[in-house]
Structure 1
């Protein structure tokens, strides 16, 4: 009985919190980051760093196996002999697992930083936002892209090309995050342990803190943050609708930890006038599976 009462209270609290956040986000006053900047050290020490994404051999292998296991649910992909194109392949380990199953694989990325185990798989150096890729029409039974779409300057061109090289009846899988407007969307969480730093602080202030503390991402020290296109969930949803392929699966990971919304309530003035919606700040990750007509 006590547990049930606590759950009801938590649910009621969260609903009220979301309502307050919606009111804050709808305010048209200009944003003001000064108070949050003065509280930086307090905010920085409030949370522990997020767990490492994992670029060691075991983590890369495990992540690839998990991704491949989900792909097996696509009709026909459980039978060996299909052709897969992996855009933004990164470590390339999805290709290793897929090839070991008996499929043919082509990997593609803007730069080649593949795991040594993936070096034997065909690789194309491709700027995903540039048409037309050096790949023939309707060549692949499946085209995948993981944790890349939030970084592309022109995701619409990339998606159009993914559909072009996919054969009729084949599948296009787009799985990515964190989106820019979500708590960790700046992709600076290894340095800044604060949700929503992209809104709490000015760009100059962020640059100074990153310069002081360094940037670690993609398993290495970097000179700058990864580029993010700052698209909202609605912009991506509009993109999917415009191309008219059959949408098989749509999954959204929504951050519903009160702490994140409490940050907005604690510093409402930093979020004023940005044109944000509740869906923008809550939607962390998107996975969509399309079947080409």
Structure 2
């Protein structure tokens, strides 16, 4: 049975464009709500929201921010650069989670412009899309209160089997990592009718595991815990063995889940 992704739900007879988009947005929110538990499990650490000032980076439709508030967060700010997603998150909060409105807010803002102090910064499936991730890690460190925690996890890394997120529309694993990027961009440009010059034009920063380690290592954390290839797929233990071979690391690192604690 083929699973239709929320953003690809077909229009119903007589359904307007706005109605279709609303239905897709709600389906996406429900899917992400259902996925929160598995994401938290893959982090591999007990994450406490109770009494915390929480920032979510790349909040999208707001599912994880809502979860944080329901789990007892003192306040939650969800930020994203997608105005439409932020508009949905705010409207959905008001319509369906009214009791949380005094503790949750959503804002379309670049983290570089954000001020304040947070006890916990979370980010789900976002780091692989950020163009200047090194700068963002610096802003995260700046915004964390002493003793504050960054908890982030995402998959897939670009060079892993399906790391292009399907955006190059290829049918075989690793093809995007092997074929010349220039050729891939020409191909997808012809397919979508607009000029794509790089993977970043498709929201893919081509992050490698060693880069992420270097970005984190530029700051003086009290402790960092990084776990790779978390999940229940029987292939992941094999991938974990293969990624220990240095030339193969980027090709067999699918996901990363990390917690970093700022010094008190």
The TM-score range, normalised by the shorter chain, is 0.5 to 0.7
Q: Deviation per CA, 1:147-181, whole angstroms, max 9, x where unpaired?
A: 11111111111111111111111111121221111
Is it true that 1:181 corresponds to 2:181 in the alignment? no
CA contact (8 A) 2:222 2:262 kept: yes
Q: Which residue of 2 aligns with 1:233?
A: 209
In the alignment, which residue of structure 1 is the partner of 2:257?
A: 287
**Preserved contact between residue 172 and residue 291 of structure 1 (Cα < 8 Å):** yes
RMSD: 3.5
1:149 corresponds, among 112, 127, 149, to 127
- CA-to-partner distance for each residue in 1:239-259, whole Å, 9 max, x for gaps? 22221213342110189859x
- 1:120-172 alpha-carbon deviations (Å, 9 max, x no partner): 531222234xx3x3212xx1110011111111111111111111111111111
Indicate conservation of the 8 Å contact 2:170/2:176, yes or no.
no
Contact 1:245–1:290 at 8 Å: present in 2 too? yes
Secondary structure of the 2:213 match is helix
- Structure-1-length-normalised TM-score: 0.62
Misfit runs of 4+, over 6 Å: 48-51
Inter-partner Cα distance in structure 2 for 1:63 and 1:49: 19
1:135 is aligned, of 101, 109, 115, to: 115
Return the alpha-carbon distance in structure 2 between the equivalents of residues 209 and 234 of structure 1. 29
Alignment match, 2:197: none
2:41 matches 1:63: no
**SS of aligned partner of 2:79:** strand
In structure 2, the residue matched to 1:84 is 54
Q: TM-score of the superposition, structure 2-length normalised?
A: 0.68
Work out which structure has the larger RCO, using CA pairs closer than 8 Å and 6 or more positions apart in sequence.
Answer: 1
Work out whether 1:109 is the aligned partner of 2:109.
no
In structure 1, how many angstroms separate the alpha carbons of the residues matched to 2:148 and 2:219?
A: 15
Map 1:154-169; keep pairs closer than 5 Å. Answer: 154-169=132-147
CA distance 1:229–1:208, shift in 2 (3 Å): closer
The SS at the match of 1:243 is coil
Distance 1:281-1:66 versus aligned 2 partners, 3 A rule: closer
Distance (whole Å) between structure 2 residues aligned to residue 200 and residue 49 of structure 1: 28
Corresponding residue of 1:36: none
SS at match of 1:277: helix
What is the number of residues matched between the two proteins? 215
